[in-house]
Structure 1
Amino acid sequence: MRALFIAFALLLVSGCAYRAQEAPPGSWQAQRATLAQLQDWQLSARLGIITPDERGSLSLFWRQDSDDYRMNLTNVVGSRVFDLSRRQGTIQLTDSEGRQHTAGNARDLVFRLTGWDLPVEQLAYWIKGLPGEADQVEYDADGRPQSLRAHGWQLSYLGYTRIDGLWLPSRLNLTHDTTTLRLAINQWELKP
């Protein structure tokens, strides 16, 4: 039964992503400044998590509002796994039983409570296809980030889609030590 669940979860992750699209040469480089200024956005996605101890498929809703955010993860039946938010510098996680936990670092808090290594702060940039200054980046034939190495993470951008004139990632894989994250973005919503 567990093998059937894993196969179903992986099918969901692979089947609900945008198709990769070609971009005009230089289009991503031209939009880099716009991506850096894009502070208010939200997305919904399927998130596959693979660790030595477990495999799972979750639904992810993420709303970014400048430095503040809300990340909500639910399982395949719609039950909350956790709700993580940052408001005015305070990071709070509400677990599946409704208990609230606070910390100064989101990555450490998630790892302490779930055992999952999620690079929450960096992911807010990487998920837009925006590498950091010190990140090692390789670009595809269209000039968009194809792979990225930073903070012990290896990212592969597997697809892009055009939303409101911007090329945004639709699928990406992240690996760090024994953790693999597979993200298939269903919907982007950009706010001016």
Structure 2
Amino acid sequence: MRNLLIMLTLLWLSGCAYKAEQAPAGSWQAQQNTLSQLHNWQLSAKLGIITPDERGSLSLFWRQNSNDYRMNLTNVVGKRVFDLSRNGQNVQLTDSKGKLHQASNARDLVLELTGWDLPVEQLSYWIKGLPGVGDKVTYDAQQRPGTISAHGWQLQYLGYTQIDGLWLPSRLNLTHNDTQLRLAISQWEFK
């Protein structure tokens, strides 16, 4: 009986030790793990773009399905600025006149057609508050990303909101050379 009691105690202790190594529920590490596995989501936001030549406010709708996405930008009166989508390795942009453009790189395509430098591929991670590999990160008091420096971009997370138990960015500022982006996310949805 004594041996059985010792065995049960050891099994219980080993179970506790295993749980102690896992990230505590609600911690940023646990949320990072969850967010990195979140591949299907969509959001609605306001996007401010400031360049030396123009200043504008747009509505942004973004739907992400694994590596594929659809990004729709409209102006204040609801007119399409462009639709950008990626399906496999194919990137397509439909401009405001309905003309279709294709490329293998979204950032270069947007820059060529609009003059806007948008880090589309990185933004799909940054918008969730996830730094990329090699990104320089500083953290806020809750250990969430506060700033990220990568690929010549400087990101500043100005607000977070809690949705379904996850802390997600609600406001971001991004700067690169003479381009500044201000993003205010109004709605997140997960699939």
Question: Shorter-chain TM-score: which interval?
Answer: 0.7 to 0.9
- What displacement does 1:25 show? 10
Q: Distance in 1 between matches of 2:163 and 2:26?
A: 17
Provide, for residues 22-78 of structure 1, a one-character-per-residue CA deviation record: whole Å limited to 9, x for no partner. xx9972222111111100000000000000000000000000000000000000000
User: Any unmatched runs of 5+ in structure 2?
Assistant: 1-23
Identity %: 76
Contact 2:47–2:58 (8 Å) recurs in 1: yes
What is the CA–CA distance in structure 2 between the aligned matches of 1:25 and 1:173, rounded to whole Å? Answer: 29
Q: How does 1:161-176 map to 2 (within 5 A)?
A: 161-176=161-176
- For residues 25 and 33 of structure 1, the distance between their equivalents in structure 2, rounded to whole angstroms, comes to 11
Structure 2 residue matching 1:57: 3-state secondary structure: strand
TM-score using structure 2 length: 0.86
Q: Distance in 2 between matches of 1:166 and 1:138?
A: 19
What does 1:38-187 align with in structure 2 at a 5 Å threshold?
A: 38-187=38-187
Per-residue CA deviation, residues 84-132 of structure 1 (Å, 9 max, x unaligned), is 0001221000000000000010000000000000000000000000001
What is the distance in 2 between the residues matched to 1:105 and 1:38?
23
- Asked if structure 1 preserves the Cα contact closer than 8 Å seen for 2:93 and 2:101, the reply is yes
Given residue 118 of structure 1, which amino acid in structure 2 is its aligned partner?
L
Q: In structure 1, the residue corresponding to 2:141 is in which secondary structure?
A: coil
The residue number in structure 2 matching 1:13 is: none
**For the residues of structure 2 that align with 1:27 and 1:56, how far apart are their CA atoms?**
37
Paired with 2:109 and 2:53, the residues of 1 have a C-alpha distance of 19
**Could you say which structure has the larger radius of gyration?**
2
Q: Is the 8 A contact 2:39 2:65 kept in 1?
A: yes
Q: Specify which structure has the bigger relative contact order, considering alpha-carbon pairs within 8 angstroms and separated by 6 or more residues.
A: 1
Q: What's the TM-score, normalizing by structure 1?
A: 0.86
CA shift in 2, pair 1:157/1:25, >3 Å: farther
